[in-house]
Amino acid sequence: MSAQVSSYEKPGASTLKMGVKIFGYAILAGIMSVMLSFSIAMISNGLFTDTIGFHEYENVNGEKVLLETVYYDEDTTYESEKETATDDREIVREMIVVPRNSLCAAMIVVVDVVEQLLMLSILYVLCGYYVYREGDRDRNLVKHHGREATPLRGLWIGLLAWAPSLVPFILLVLGKCGVYSESAQGIYRLLNPCFAPLTAVIMPLEQYPAVTVEVWQLIVLFLLPLTTVGVCALCYQLGYKRVFKKKKKKKTA
């Protein structure tokens, strides 16, 4: 019987291995979130930005010297970027592209909300799905092969997967104390890409360096990655109880 139990335990990773695995999926979710952010930025910039003028430079010994800045009026048409050259100098025009006025502010909020919801969906679904499967597998081992029930295993898996996110938070706290203050915020944002829109609201880019971060902001920034732990614990219980499979059976019955 013990040999049979051990053979069934092989497919189910240990709690530590599963925590590392979920952390890997969190990294994958972060990469996907960065790609999503770039895609949304390109689309929104293409739809909701406009050229309003140009900077005119003169090239002097390979260096650009700003001559003037020209802004278009509402009724003024403009040409595409161009270069004009004379015998002794070269004039370069670089277009100024900025967000459109009143509508863009509202659209930025909408885009940020949609972007954050999509990022959280990627993170929670990707991590939660595999923890759900682990709970389902553990139920089978408990029911048919005498394995001891571990109702808190999903919580431990989530905590192990969340533990590495303490590193950027600790650096942020050190930045608050004046250690590596100039780079702490950037490191936190870089290592928590799935929460980028929320992080930008909680800790705006203008709030620089990390010494200026308030205590309440640190608490919220600590809790954001911690939500993944709750998702893992919940999905493990759902998988252990086979909630979705029961609903599926009812529909097919």
Q: Where are the domains of the chain?
A: 2-43+104-241, 50-100
Distances 39 to 53, 115, 194, 202 between C-alpha atoms, Å: 26, 10, 15, 23
Q: How far is CA 125 from the centre of its chain?
A: 14
* Residue length of the chain: 253
Q: Are 160 and 23 in contact (CB under 8 A)?
A: yes
* This prediction's pTM: 0.71
The pLDDT of residue 249 is above 70:
no
The pLDDT of residue 231 is above 90:
yes
Q: Number of helices (H) and strands (E), helices first, in the chain?
A: 9, 4
Instruction: Compute the average pLDDT of residues 195-213.
Output: 90
What count of other Cβ atoms lies within 10 Å of the Cβ of residue 203? 22
Q: What is the residue-averaged pLDDT of the chain?
A: 80
pLDDT tens-digit series, residues 17-28: 999 999 999 999
Percent of the chain, pLDDT > 70? 72
The pLDDT of residue 132 is above 90:
yes
**Angle, helix 15-48 to helix 153-162, in steps of 10 degrees:** 60
Helices (H), 11-101: 15-48
The pLDDT of residue 140 is above 80:
yes
pLDDT tens-digit series, residues 168-182: 999 999 999 988 888
The pLDDT of residue 91 is above 70:
no
Q: Are 197 and 204 in contact (CB under 8 A)?
A: no
pLDDT tens-digit series, residues 28-54: 999 999 999 888 877 776 666 666 777
Instruction: Compute the average pLDDT of residues 212-235.
Output: 94
The pLDDT score that the predictor gives to residue 68 is 73
Among 15-19, 135-139, 156-160, the range with the most confident prediction by mean pLDDT is: 156-160
The pLDDT of residue 108 is above 90:
no
The pLDDT of residue 99 is above 70:
no
The pLDDT score that the predictor gives to residue 251 is 54
Q: Please give the torsion angle defined by the CA atoms of residues 204, 208, 212 and 213, in that order, rounded to the nearest 10 degrees.
A: 40
